[in-house]
Amino acid sequence: AEDTGLRVELAEEDDGKKSSIALKLWIEDPRKLKGKYRESGAIEFTFDLEKEVPEGVAQEMVESGLFQESDVKAVGKSIRDRVSLIRWRRERAMSAEE
């Protein structure tokens, strides 16, 4: 995978049922963050698997002043990659149950 210096992990155990899940975005290069957030290393947030799109959350982070507009695509992609993996794991678990 291309190295964006951003990594999204689950911030809680996935029970496979809830549509809203806690995620944590790790920022390897703090220079990606804006102003007063430069000393930060991670952003925790909830993501609704049914109602939300990763790019929308990335845009909210930019609008909240966390990231530069130029990083919106990289942030969105990092969230999308993790969300795809969560969905894939859930689908696989469901088909195993059947």
CB of 28 to another protein, least distance (A): 9
Closer to another protein by CB, 65 or 94: give it.
65
Q: Which of residues 64-93 bind another protein (CB under 8 A)?
A: 64-66
Among 2, 39, 69, 98, binds another protein (CB under 8 A): 39
Among 16, 18, 30, 89, binds another protein (CB under 8 A): 30
CB of 42 to another protein, least distance (A): 5
Closer to another protein by CB, 36 or 97: give it.
36
Q: Are strands 6-10 and 20-27 parallel, antiparallel or unpaired?
A: antiparallel
Q: Which residues of 29-53 are buried (b: 16+ CB within 10 A; e: fewer)?
A: eeebbeeebeeeeebeeebeeeebe
Q: How many residues touch another protein (CB under 8 A)?
A: 17
Rounded distance between C-alpha atoms, residue 32 and residue 29, angstroms: 6
Q: Which of 21, 28, 24 is nearest to 9 (CA)?
A: 24
